[in-house]
Amino acid sequence: MSHTRAVRPPRALLAAAVVACAVAAIPLAYLLVRVGAAGIEEVIAVFGRPRVPVLIANTVLLAASVTLTTVAIGVPSAFLLARARLRGRAVWTMLAALPLAVPSYLAAYGWLAALPWMQGFWAAWFVLTLVAVPYVTLPVAAALRAGTTGLDDVARTLGRGPLAAFRLGTWPQIRPAVLAGALLVCLYTLSDFGGVALFRYQVLTTAIQQAYGASFNRDYAAILATLLVLLAVAVVVGEQVARGRAARQFGAVTGPARQRRVRLRRWTVPALALLLVPPALAVAVPVTVLVVRLFEAQTLRAVDAVELGSAVANTVLLSASGAVVAILLALPIGILAARYRGRVVRAVETTGYLALGLPGIVVGLSLVFFSLAVVPVFYQTAFVLAFAYGVLFMPKAIGGIRSATAQVPTSLEDVSRTLGNGRTRTWWFVTARLARPGIAAAALLVTVTAMKELPATLLLRPTGTDTLATELWSRTDVSAYGAAAPYAVVLLMVAAIPAFLLSRARTGEFDEAVP
Amino acid sequence: MRSSRHARSAGAFIAIALTLTACTASPESGSTGEGTLTIYAGRNESLIGPLIEQFTDDTGIEVDVRYATSPELNALLLEEGERTPADVFFSQDAGALGSIASAGLTSTLPGELADLIPAGFTSDDGSWIGVTGRARVIAYDGDDLTSETVPDTVDALTAPEWSGRVAFAPGNASFQSFITALRVLEGEAAAAEWVNAIAANDPILTDNNLATLDLVNSGQADIGLINHYYWFERAAELGEENMRAQLEFLPGDPGGIVNVSGAAILKGAAGDADALAFVEYLVSEAAQRYFVEETFEYPLVPGIDAPEGLPALESLVNPELDLSDLESLEQTQRLLADAGLL
């Protein structure tokens, strides 16, 4: 069965995607303006700095190694969650999602407090890997649940060993999910500042922060940010090329979703360790350190319940609104990428992803620039902040929407069209209904990420409005860790809710719908 | 049609959610209308929040405060330009003030106000006013070193014996103003020599002063170049007796200069009585004493004593240095960049 269409995309869909793409390009347009203001001499001077090649090399090294490690941990974890006979599967799946609730700056802070000698590349690699593994584990587990082991069986019958059979039968089915997860991890690592800065590992984002922090030189910051965008383009295009190949292989997969579950036997202990250790290191260590700090601290002040309550409410409302914006922006891009091929489609999808490769402060400033120029009435209102979350995190939704849509056979849409339904109606009644779990998962992923966001929130929030992340920041900023601990713990608990729901989100509904 | 109903419900959800957000904002905000003073504060809420409340109690002037770091607010102000809702910018350091002043975004303060603060600790053209001072100091590992064995000049830190033991934050504004002081006091050649020598002495580079202090406090670095008041913040959290790091002030040394926090009235608020009242309040005796007692900073208004146990402000060198001179700052950064530190 064919999952993509050879014909040209409908005009309305393309138009919607181009609009979403234009929104995603706001930060890029802003960077162009700033780099233009800097002039060519300054751009050349930046490359003359002895430190800049080091920064680029460090950034690439970190992004590549974190991505590879998360795949190495995430794929086997996903296999265990989806295909092994496991007692308490739901609990293990929830544990696997839990690191999503931990902001990288909090994990880094916790580890550094526990082990003050942690520093440099290894420390940054370790902590970012811990918090980023779920980006691979969750989509791959979902793909495994939706897939079939029938092809593995055929390969075994023909005399292949279990690993070779997996490579031939299952791997092509999960490869798009692995690539999509790896892409998110890679872009996340490129743009992360908080986790890296504490370990004194110098990358482009830390240099960007310094450019704002000491030089008050936003042109230099913009030039460095443009370098990050170029790296992000290379990563996104690389993923598209790899996925293009995978899609052709996937085309051969047919047959009913039949799954055989593996008995673990003597592998039980190492398997459970693989599932237990990353979440324990990502979550338990920082939480323990914070609680210890809470009892050690001499600046312990009573927690203002009203303040805490309003921070929780703001965090939930803003991040949920941000998720709605992100989904609305990502839908046309995701559908386009799932159903159509071609240069325009690739360009639209690439642009959609780029904001994720930029640090929050750059995206935040670009929206200050944009909202003052276009909708000054809404400047410093919750609307612009929710919109900013949408721009920042729509890339996290594109992949999920794309793969959820791609799983719906186009033949079903054709049937609906034959019965006289229009394109939009078909989409709502057939495609959206079947792709809904995937779209819901994408929304949850955006929500949990937006809850932890700090730099853009500081720039764009309505004056006087606090979220859990800003409350946490204002306390750790003066090393009042005792006073910060309750906010950190509440942030983890609130963010754990969408992470938990995400672990339960299944793309499997499709299996029942199409026997 | 169902699709438009979905679109409408999504829109309605956002509208309701965001309206609710506006309602849950703390009561003193959300009313950025006329008559409310808007302050962009690059200083921490827990430190200056009580002072601002006191200002409102004393004067009856309602205040909206936007807290973020000074660099972020500086970038924000540059982006907003003349459309900024801010009336006053209260900055952690002089560089951010110099940056918005040179972009033409500040108004000139009345002479009698600007003259309150001695030269070297404030702007030379009335574009902003110094409010508090923070001395550059050496923080040393009290378990390994004593006040006698710690150098009393940064010149000594380039010696082989300190190789791999000295931590500092080259990207930090107050570290950079120390380098600028070095250039002014000892000349360009000597400053370049020091920067290259320290870069070759295997320094431990950090991201900010607090991270530097934490390294010393946990024994990961023997010496850290920081601002004095971070030690007091940390001590307030952990207890003075639990501080492994100790402070060495550097009277007479470029490494011991005083950086200032300061405030400016933005162009759109020129002539605004409330904005002026707030800036006047920051350099009033009550506020200056508040900073001495609560944040352990140097008061800049003459006649008010420094926090107990700190050397007198006059004993620390501040060359006739314009702390907000960005051209000079740029030269300093080029020096650090050429040495591979930035």
Nearest-angstrom CA–CA distance, A58 and A62: 6
Interface residue A312 vs chain B (CB under 8 A): no
Closest CA to A447 of A341, A318, A278, A356: A318
User: Are the beta carbons of A143 and A177 closer than 8 angstroms?
Assistant: yes
pTM: 0.86
DSSP line for B136-178: EEEEEETTT--TTTS-SSGGGGGSGGGTTTEEE-TT-HHHHHH
Tell me whether residues B72 and A428 touch, CB distance under 8 A: no
Tell me whether residues A116 and B206 touch, CB distance under 8 A: no
Nearest-angstrom CA–CA distance, A352 and A349: 5
Which ranges of B28-88 does DSSP label H, i.e. alpha helix? 45-59, 70-80
SS3 B223: strand
Residue of B nearest to A47 (CA): B337
Nearest-angstrom CA–CA distance, A198 and A298: 24
pLDDT higher for A301 or A350? A350
Q: Which of B47, B179, B207, B233 to mutate to test the interface with A (most CBs of A within 10 A)?
A: B207
Residues of B in contact with A299 (CB under 8 A): 236-237
Residues of A in contact with B38 (CB under 8 A): 463
Residue with tokens 């070779």: A164
Residue of B nearest to A427 (CA): B3
pLDDT higher for A263 or A309? A309
SS3 B261: strand
Q: Which class is domain A27-252+263-513?
A: mainly alpha
**CB interface of A with B, residues 138-167, below 8 Å:** none
pLDDT band for B93, please (50, 70, 90 cuts).
confident
**CB interface of A with B, residues 6-65, below 8 Å:** 49-51, 54
**The two three-digit tokens of residue A508, written as one number:** 């499997």
Over residues A390-438, the pLDDT tens digits come to 999 999 999 889 888 887 888 888 888 888 888 888 888 888 888 888 8
Highest mean pLDDT among A63-72, A410-419, A498-507, B184-193: A63-72
Cα-atom radius of gyration of chain B, to the nearest Å? 22
Residue of A nearest to B329 (CA): A215
Tell me whether residues A310 and B25 touch, CB distance under 8 A: yes
B248 phi and psi angles, rounded to 5 deg: -125, 115
Q: Is the pLDDT of residue B3 over 90?
A: no
SS3 A426: helix
Q: Is the pLDDT of residue A178 over 70?
A: yes
Orientation angle between helical segments A171-191 and A120-146, nearest 10 degrees: 150
Contacts of A475 (CB under 8 A, 6+ apart): A481, A483, A484, A487, B46
User: In this prediction, what percent of chain B has a pLDDT beyond 70?
Assistant: 89
Residue of B nearest to A210 (CA): B171
User: Are the beta carbons of B127 and B101 closer than 8 angstroms?
Assistant: yes
Res B203: pLDDT: 95
- In total, the C-beta contacts within 8 angstroms joining chain A to chain B are 207
Nearest-neighbour CA in chain B from A372: distance (Å): 7
Give the count of alpha carbons within 13 A of A302, CB side only.
3
Judging by beta carbons within 10 Å of its beta carbon (0-12, 13-18, 19+), is residue B5 exposed, middle or buried? exposed
Pick from B20, B237, B337: CB nearest A51 = B337
Q: Is the pLDDT of residue B33 over 60?
A: no
Q: Which class is domain B29-133+259-312?
A: alpha beta
Q: Interface pTM (ipTM) of the complex?
A: 0.84
CATH superfamily, domain B135-257+327-338, is Periplasmic binding protein-like II (3.40.190.10)
Judging by beta carbons within 10 Å of its beta carbon (0-12, 13-18, 19+), is residue B245 exposed, middle or buried? buried
Closest CA to A88 of A279, A285, A274, A275: A275
Interface residue A320 vs chain B (CB under 8 A): yes
Nearest-angstrom CA–CA distance, B123 and B108: 10
Pick from A372, A474, A482: CB nearest B80 = A372
Tell me whether residues B74 and A380 touch, CB distance under 8 A: no
Residue positions forming the annotated binding site of B for Fe cation: 229-230
Closest CA to A92 of A107, A102, A105, A82: A82
**The two three-digit tokens of residue A26, written as one number:** 């706001």
Contacts of B112 (CB under 8 A, 6+ apart): none
**The two three-digit tokens of residue B142, written as one number:** 């009290």
Res A47: pLDDT: 83
Res B330: pLDDT: 82
Nearest-angstrom CA–CA distance, A461 and A454: 10
Res B19: pLDDT: 65
pLDDT band for A447, please (50, 70, 90 cuts).
very high
Nearest-angstrom CA–CA distance, A148 and A125: 34
Res A250: pLDDT: 46
Phi/psi region, residue B104 (left: phi>0; alpha: psi -120 to 50; beta: rest), is: left
Contacts of A160 (CB under 8 A, 6+ apart): A168
Bridge partners (DSSP) listed for residue B63 = B37
Nearest-angstrom CA–CA distance, B116 and B130: 9
The Cα-based distances of B125 to B33, B42, B111, B133, B280 in angstroms read 31, 22, 9, 19, 17
Nearest-neighbour CA in chain A from B110: distance (Å): 26
Closest CA to B131 of B72, B48, B61: B48
Residues of B in contact with A223 (CB under 8 A): none
Res A513: pLDDT: 34
Domain span(s) for CATH 3.40.190.10 in chain B: 29-133+259-312, 135-257+327-338
Judging by beta carbons within 10 Å of its beta carbon (0-12, 13-18, 19+), is residue A20 exposed, middle or buried? buried
